[in-house]
A = this chain, B = another copy of it.
């Protein structure tokens, strides 16, 4: 079994109102040293595959077809094989 840890982030050129609001709220709480906050999604996906390459292909297709918005977002996949004994 493979475990994919996927981070989906807004492209740098896209405004991030949720991040801006969190940054502002942190400032109100006294966190003056924080200079930027951007918020994305984190997806943990378990999948069965015969090989690492196959697992990566499935995770990439899931990202491009459903999980991310390819116009506004980038995704990064970290894949780990889990050996069940």
Contacts and interface: CB of A to CB of B under 8 A. Distances in A.
Contact of A29 (B38, B40, B66): B66
Given A26-B66, A29-B66, A38 B44 contact: yes
Of the four ranges (under 10, 10 to 19, 20 to 34, 35 or more), the interface on chain A belongs to: 20 to 34
Contacts of A35: 1, 46-48
Contacts of A46: 34-37
A36 B42 contact: no
B42 A41 contact: yes
Copies of chain A in the complex? 2
A85 interface: no
Contact of A8 (B29, B33, B42, B49): B42
B62 A34 contact: yes
Interface string A9-50: 100000000010010011001010111111111111111110
